[in-house]
Structure 1
Amino acid sequence: MTLAVRRRSRNSDKPDWFNLDIWDKTAEIAANYVRKGSLIGVKGTLKIDTWTDRNTGVPRSIPVIVVDQLDLLGSRQDNQASGVPENYDEF
């Protein structure tokens, strides 16, 4: 899953993008209830994935958030429209 984070900056309207590593029950919940454009919060650790580009041989890296906790932050109406049970706020 990919997360877009909007910077609060006057110079840029472009979001920063982060890949999320989500596992186990949290991954199941995310797959079932999180949709494109959903407002979510995540807690976790930042790791850097590194590799060598096959075509150029140049080392590459990307930040990845390993998610420990996923919160659904949209309105109750938004969550109900996507099928989230009322008592699920945090996974």
Structure 2
Amino acid sequence: MLENLYAEIKSRKTSPKEGSYTTYLFDQGLDKILKKVGEEATEVVIAAKNEKAELISETADLTYHLLVLLVESGVTLSEIEEKLTERVGRISKTSDRKEIRDL
């Protein structure tokens, strides 16, 4: 599913379609795309405190906007998968991570 959506988004970048929201985002540029990713990430955080259906919907929105950002930035899903694969089984020390306070 993610691969198909990524391919469709990439297609909109190379072959814009009038009236397409994806085309609109690409036309507006990186700043608009980043703004939308930030908004959707915030909405996911808020939705996590509410109903499961809302969390699912907002996560779908965030995923879509992240894929638009990846296409805009020339990052492939394979590159993300490679990075995640590198991390499998790696032990990280919580003491090496920045502390999160008062969420």
Q: Same fold (TM over 0.5)?
A: no
Q: TM class, shorter-chain normalised?
A: under 0.3
| Larger relative strand fraction | 1
TM-score by length of 2: 0.17
TM-score of the pair, normalised by structure 1: 0.18
